Amino acid sequence: MMRRTLAVCAIALSLSACGGGNNGGSGAVASNAQGANLGTGASSSSSGGVQQFPLLDTSPHITYKEAFCANQPDSAALPTDPRSLIQPGFNQGKKVSFNAWWEDCHRNIPTKQPQTCGEYRVAKAAGQAYVSGVGNKALTTFSIFMPSKGYNDMWKVWGLKSRPADFDEQARERWGLPASTYPNPYPLPGEDPNATNGGSGVLPMGLVQILDANGKYTGNIGMTCYVCHSGALGQSSDGAGLGTINGLGAHAADLNLISADVGADVLQALEGNSVPIHTLPFPIALSSSRGAINASGVAEMLMTLMDLQSMTIDLKIRVNPFHASEGDTKTASWWWGSYRSRKFYDGGLSMDDDRMDTFIIKGFNALEPKTLEPEASPQNDTEANQTVAYLDSIQSPAFPYGFCSNADGSPGPNDNPACINQPLAEQGAILFHSLDLWASGANNAIPHPPGNGSCASCHGVYSPQYANDPTYLDDPRAMAITGYIAPLDIIGTDPARTTGFTTEDREALSSSYIGYPEGMPGYIPFAQQTRSEDLAFNTPPYSHFTGACEWEQETVGYLTPTLRGVWASAPYLHNASVPDVWSVLKPSDRPTVWERLLTQGPGVEHGFDTSLQAYDFTKLGWKYNPVDCKVTVPGLPCSTEPGKFIDLDQVLTMIDKILGSGFLYGDLGYPLLTRTEIEQRKITNTHEYGKSNAGHQFTQSLTDAERKALIEYLKTL
């Protein structure tokens, strides 16, 4: 420990002073408390000609467009996007690594992203309406998701004898959807929605009642982007930004159960059957467990359904479907996009590529004809730009309890016990940016990444003091920006997501509408293509041309996430296999089979408890209970009953999972038939395909004291 304290002090001395701060009684590492204007996001005054910068960034973590335009007129030109700094040659040889390069996707098309604050404000408002479906036609999975009568009768699908009085709450619990952040009505039986202000029922976030072209309620219920991209963390009364959070990944939702319930409800209505019929309308499974999504399988399904040039529905086998599934992933938080040079877990596309969003939205909305005909591309690009403008406005929630008020970092009489120990957080900031995790020799079996081997070398810089150190960043505007794809031999996490997305997939998308092919050598506009050229452009090998923005093919690994709002982003790793930050930092403490705390109450349905009482502020993540799994064979469900193997429903699920995981790009769409199956989907079993909790092993070299300091620092991000 003395070796590490001296090493940290030596590095810190080059920035300010070491050893003069109060360590809050932790004794973890030396604190860098002198010479920095701590507790403020602004730079301090110059001293001796050398400007000092704070160690902790406590300014509001607002995205760059929001921060710049806050007090600017509409005519003000937007500044350089800090993500666009991450281009080949940036930060070469520095302590922080980048290899996930930004590309200008819009360079050859007339439709540009907002250039001024006024354009940004208009686009953001339109994008928010577009995403939420409020005051607008909803972005639905199909043009009509289901009539309100079917929704009102959903209790029959659940096997209940009558509609529960708290039906709306039970729907949220069963599906894991949060309460809506805006008025979200639907008509109860016998109600005219246009005579009752939409109706007396309240839909959860992610569902919305569709309006017609005249702005009147239709009584039809659609699905919006928020079904995957919203989640709850505490209550709104717990602090600013808490409660239902727009843009937080749906960490509690069971998307497969929603799909199964809707399919059963539709069939029941069509057949007039009073006995629940369970089926799955979707061709592939949307997830294999609660709180995750088979996003890549869905994308590949859309690639099969749609022409990759015109983006119209046109069945072709463009990629070989017989390969291993990419497995489940957790839904990334939307605010991540404002701090990363590329998007998706494999760093597939530049963050400047908006068309992938259009592809997903329009692809799902298959019953809307001609929405992606070539002549509609300018409109689609405008809608994509508007959607992204809204996403670029979303900021991460601040830690709710602020800094402790006592000088030694301990809680004062009016502080919440979970408040941030500032001296300890300062120590964590130094460790985060300067401690080489390979220095002790504990990680000799893992290749040393480029940079100084610290957390910051992969995750980026978050301290103004280090951001303004030219040995860390070429340009301080890149503070909080991440752009490093960690190769699999370094990160070591479950490989299914990145290896399952094949070279064929990457090449097909690189030479498609999504890759911005306009103006590129070899590209022929769709309207001018002959039938043979159309077939050639939609058939492997995809070597005819490459768009302005191509899918990453050089580095197979995982793009490091931004750590903005990391405290609110549990569970962790790309597949949601680790419940808390402590377990990420201490691999030996990771549970193998575990279940989050469930809500309590008189109803039948109990989802994940998303209150702050279910949150562990010490370990930084969701509280959980280890599960004694009697079956631990990879691919098999977890049986928690001694002496019992698995019932028929589970056998069918097992067969489907094995086939889907090993031979088909998405699981086959297994139905949910029993209450046992529904409950088992609340269990995270890291023995299952794609759900390994291995990887990020290099933090094994940390001491527990260092882990505590790092966690305290991460609360400030």
Q: Which residue has the higher pLDDT, 543 or 648?
A: 543
Q: Exposed, middle or buried, 357 (CB in 10 Å: 0-12/13-18/19+)?
A: buried
Residue 648 confidence (pLDDT) above 90? no
17 DSSP β-pair partners: 34
- CA dist., res. 613 & res. 330, Å (int): 22
Q: How confident is the model at residue 536 (pLDDT cuts 50, 70, 90)?
A: confident
Residue 604: pLDDT band with limits 50, 70, 90 = confident
The pLDDT of residue 572 is 97
How far is Cα of residue 315 from the mean position of the Cα atoms in its chain? 30
pLDDT at 99: 96
Is pLDDT larger for residue 466 or for residue 648? 466
Cis ω on the peptide bond leading into residue 637 (within 30° of 0)?
no
- pLDDT per position as a tens digit, 313-356: 776 666 666 677 788 899 999 999 999 999 999 999 999 999 88
Which range has the top average pLDDT, 206-215, 257-266, 637-646? 206-215
Q: Which of 15-29, 173-187, 691-705 bottoms out in mean pLDDT, i.e. has the lowest?
A: 15-29
Please state which of the ranges 332-336, 375-379, 513-517, 609-613 shows the lowest mean pLDDT. Answer: 375-379
pLDDT in tens, 657-693: 555 544 454 555 555 667 878 888 899 988 888 889 9
Are 243 and 249 contacting, i.e. CB atoms less than 8 angstroms apart? Answer: no
pLDDT at 652: 52
Q: Residue 469: its pLDDT value, please?
A: 96
Q: What number is the average pLDDT over the span 383-399?
A: 91
Q: How far apart are the first and last CA of the chain?
A: 26
**Which pLDDT score, from 0 to 100, does residue 532 have?**
77
280 has a pLDDT exceeding 50: no
Cβ-based neighbours of 525, under 8 Å, separated by 6 or more? 374, 518
pTM of the predicted model as reported, rounded to 2 decimal places: 0.88
Of 13-22, 24-33, 76-85, 493-502, which one has max mean pLDDT?
76-85
pLDDT class of 278 with cuts at 50, 70, 90? very low
Phi–psi pair at 549, nearest 5 degrees: -125, 110
Mean pLDDT of 191-210: 94
Separation between Cα atoms, residue 500 and residue 503, nearest integer Å: 9
Is the pLDDT at 702 greater than 90, yes or no? yes
What was the pLDDT predicted at 267? 58
Query: What is the average pLDDT across 439-468?
Result: 96
178 CB neighbour count, 10 Å cutoff: 25
Count CB neighbours of 368 within 10 A: 13
Token pair listed for 620: 């930084």
Share of the chain above pLDDT 90, in %: 50
- Look up residue 670 and give its two tokens: 């297994």
Please report the pLDDT score of residue 527 as a whole number: 76
* Separation in Å, CA 403 to CA 194, 410, 417, 425: 49, 9, 10, 10
Res. 252: pLDDT tops 60: yes
Q: Name the residue among 69, 702, 87, 708 with its Cα closest to residue 436.
A: 702
Q: Over 70: is that where the pLDDT of 214 sits?
A: yes
471 pLDDT band, cuts 50/70/90, is very high
Whether the pLDDT of residue 92 is over 70: the answer is yes
pLDDT band for position 540 (cuts 50, 70, 90):
confident
Distance separating alpha carbons of residues 343 and 485, to the nearest angstrom: 11
Residues above pLDDT 70, as percent of the chain: 78
**In the predicted structure, residue 81 carries a pLDDT above the cut 90:** yes
Give the pLDDT of residue 202.
Answer: 96
DSSP state of 561: P
**CA pair distance 636, 658, nearest whole angstrom:** 8
The number of beta carbons lying within 10 Å of the beta carbon of residue 180 is 21
C-alpha angle 522/524/530, rounded to 5°?
Answer: 120
pLDDT on residue 576: 95
Exposure of 1 in the CB half-sphere (CA atoms within 13 A): 8
pLDDT at 656: 52
Q: How much is the CA Rg of the chain, to the nearest whole Å?
A: 26
Per-chain mean pLDDT for the chain? 81
Collapse the DSSP code of 622 into the 3-class scheme (helix H, G, I; strand E, B; otherwise coil) and give the result: strand
What pLDDT is recorded for position 186? 95
Higher pLDDT, 598 or 544: 598
Partners of 243 in the β-ladder: 233
**With 50 as the cut, is the pLDDT of residue 2 above it?**
no
The DSSP secondary structure of 375-405, one letter per residue, reads GGHHHHHHHHHHHHHHHTT--PPPPTT-B-S
Residue 494 has pLDDT above 70, yes or no: yes
**38-52, 459-473, 503-517: range with highest mean pLDDT:** 459-473
* pLDDT band per the 50, 70, 90 thresholds, residue 210: confident
How far is the C-alpha of 194 from the C-alpha of 431, rounded, in Å? 59
> Strands 621-622, 615-616: parallel, antiparallel or unpaired by DSSP?
antiparallel
Q: Six-digit token pair at 508?
A: 């097909």
Q: Does the pLDDT of residue 33 top 60, yes or no?
A: no
Residues 6 or more apart in contact with residue 305 via CB below 8 angstroms: 313, 314, 315, 363, 366
User: 209 pairs with which residues across the strands?
Assistant: 221
In this prediction, residues 355-363 reach a mean pLDDT of: 76
Question: How many Å apart are CA 566 and CA 432, to the nearest integer?
Answer: 14
Range scoring the smallest mean pLDDT among 40-44, 111-115, 425-429, 708-712: 40-44
Position 87 pLDDT exceeds 80: yes
Question: Measuring CA to CA, how many Å separate 419 from each of 243, 378, 399, 618?
Answer: 19, 49, 9, 10
Three-state SS across 478-529? HCCCECCEEEHHHHCCCCHHHHHCCHHHHHHHHCCHHHCCCCCCCCCCHHHC
What pLDDT, on the 0 to 100 scale, is given for residue 309?
A: 75
- Residue 104, pLDDT > 70, answer yes
Identify the pLDDT of residue 670. 56
pLDDT in tens, 112-158: 889 999 999 999 998 888 887 754 544 444 444 678 888 998 998 88
pLDDT at 71 over 70: yes
In this predicted structure, the answer to whether residue 51 has a pLDDT above a threshold of 90 is: no
Query: What is the dihedral sign for C-alpha 332, 335, 339, 343?
Result: positive
Q: Judge whether residue 58 has pLDDT over 80.
A: yes
